[in-house]
Chain A
Amino acid sequence: MNILDQKEKGCCGTEKSCGPEAPLQGLQILPVPKVDDEPCCGPPAGPESSPLERPGYMLWHFVEGLINTPAGPVPKVKTVLERPDHLGTARARFGYKRNQYTIAPGLYGVGTPGPESPILVTANYKLSFDSLRKELTGLDSWILVIDTRGINVWCAAGKGTFATSEIARRVRNTNLEKIVNHRELILPQLGAPGVSAHLLKKNCGFKGIWGPIRASDIKAFLNSGKKAPPSMRTATFSMLERLVLVPVEISLIIRPTLWIFLAFFILSGISPDIFSITAAWQRSLMVVAAYIAGVFAGAVAAPALLPWIPSRIFALKGIIIGLLAGAGITAMYWDAIGVLESLTLLLCATAVSSYAAMNFTGATPFTSPSGVEKEMRRFIPVQAVAVVVAAITWIIAPFTT
């Protein structure tokens, strides 16, 4: 249920506006009681509730008014991101409740949109919605948010939730044909894996027009007669675009960390005296260091330095940079360890880095699934052998001195 559904109950969508109504004949309107600045009990009273609030609904901070349309009121949204938006973005980027960062699907407005204003379609992942609306300052337009289950446009298109049928359903639900005179939807180009633009018109009466990839090109696109040069139609993967993905990559890769550290502890304690707690503690710290170096190499350094690390194979990029990281850790403990243990630390960092870098393929806009599968078939065995050899050398090292 969203605010638009109110129209079905007959409150709005009529000639009358939905805002505060003129007093009815014969009723006496009492003045709103003034709040005492220093109440006798409890904390000071908060601000009066916003006239935009509706019983049973949460009001988002980014709604700044209501636009009355022939199909009922439509929330008008701000085009400048505020503190809660930035905090929410940071939260999602770090992978915290990332799959619950959604807004209600339906129609929103920017500026003072009218019957001729363009309709821009996006996902109900709030990060997607925010990156669109922040580019729309001064552009009177409608935003049709479809239900992608909180997934961004491109991934949702791949998963089939940013789909022709879902767009058509939202168009009908929101009674778009009563709100605008034209019959065009501007679609984000990255939604194309899920949407057949040529089938949209049959499904909902609105024609799909492929807009640019990046929201920041929307204005230029509209100003040039809805034509996009190749630069607006090609995916990019700049340093910044890569770095914002790093926290999520790390949050995914370190999920089993506790179990891994426990395994390090147990393996490190195996000694000629059966099990040594002291050795378990001291030696496992070294493997932990190698593991962390591997995660850093594969999930931070590899994405950041992606174009400059040799090889197109991500797992191999991870090996190259992981060897460097592992060598650094080995050098750090050089005086305390032997050859076998050095080998463990080197292999551990390299295997972890290779796996982490290989996982980063899922976050890039240019790796084909066939290619990812090909490199996984070749390199997962390599990573597994490295881990097994690392474990063996680590276990036998205390018995050789």
Chain B
Amino acid sequence: METFRYLPDVSTLQLDESTCIGCGSCQLVCPHGVFAVEPQGKAKIMDKNGCMECGACAQNCPVNALTVTPGVGCASYIIQVWIKGKDKAACGSIECC
């Protein structure tokens, strides 16, 4: 997705390299090629600004070395969160994606 880039320096993605076991799951599931596993056996965030915070990597990290605040990048959902609060905002009720 090199042709499409979104706002830089906003992603909440974080990798705890000391916990990482270098299994490569994050690299496999990331739809934007954000990760690479280095020869010394640790994953590395290569392109943090390519991250869309989908949460696939964190969900599939067997040692919980990855954290990201996943969410729905949907304007009407975010407006609902602002108005009603995180608990009551429901993506299902407003038909976004």
Report A's interface with B, CB cutoff 8 A.
Answer: 95, 98-99, 149, 151-152, 154-155, 157-159, 189-190, 192-198, 210, 213, 230, 233-237, 252, 306-307, 312-313, 358-359, 361-376
Contact = CB atoms under 8 A, between A and B. Distances in A.
B59 A362 contact: no
A56 to B, nearest CB: 28
A192 B34 CA distance: 15
A242 B47 CA distance: 24
B14 interface: no
A365 B52 contact: yes
B83 interface: no
User: Interface SS of chain B: helix, strand, loop or mixed?
Assistant: loop
B60 A372 contact: no
Given A369-B69, A370-B53, A371-B10, A198 B60 contact: yes
B26 to A, nearest CB: 10
A237 B1 contact: yes
Contact of B31 (A99, A155, A213): A213
Contacts of A234: 1, 31-33
Given A359-B75, A369-B69, A372-B73, 17 more contacts: A155-B96, A155-B97, A159-B92, A192-B59, A195-B60, A197-B60, A210-B28, A233-B28, A233-B31, A234-B32, A307-B3, A364-B73, A366-B50, A369-B73, A371-B11, A373-B78, A375-B7
Given A158-B54, A237-B1, A307-B4, A362 B72 contact: yes
Interface of B: 1, 3-7, 10-12, 25, 28-33, 50-57, 59-60, 62, 69-79, 91-92, 95-97
Contacts of A99: 95
Contacts of B78: 369, 372-373, 376
Nearest to B97: A155
A374 B73 contact: no
A24 to B, nearest CB: 51
Most buried by A among B28, B71, B72, B73: B73
A149 B73 contact: no
A77 to B, nearest CB: 26
Nearest to B8: A312
Nearest to B3: A307
Most buried by B among A189, A192, A230: A192
A192 B29 contact: yes
Contacts of A361: 73-75
A368 B95 contact: no
Given A371-B10, A372-B74, A98 B33 contact: no
Contact of A192 (B50, B56, B69, B91): B56
A362 B56 contact: no
A193 B56 contact: yes
A103 B74 CA distance: 26
A210 B25 CA distance: 10
A167 to B, nearest CB: 13
B71 to A, nearest CB: 4
A189 B55 CA distance: 12
B8 to A, nearest CB: 8
B60 A196 contact: yes
A373 B5 CA distance: 16
A361 B28 CA distance: 25
Contact of B76 (A149, A158, A362, A367): A362
25 contacts: A151-B97, A158-B55, A158-B71, A189-B56, A192-B54, A198-B25, A198-B62, A234-B1, A252-B95, A312-B6, A361-B75, A362-B73, A362-B75, A362-B76, A362-B97, A366-B6, A366-B32, A368-B6, A368-B10, A368-B53, A368-B73, A369-B72, A369-B74, A370-B12, A376-B79
B4 A364 contact: yes
B29 A371 contact: no
A193 B60 CA distance: 8
A370 B1 contact: no
A211 to B, nearest CB: 11
Contacts of A195: 59-60
Contacts of B96: 155, 252, 362
Contact of A368 (B29, B52, B62): B52
Contacts of B97: 151-152, 154-155, 158, 362-363
B94 to A, nearest CB: 9
A91 B76 CA distance: 22
Contacts of B71: 158, 369-370
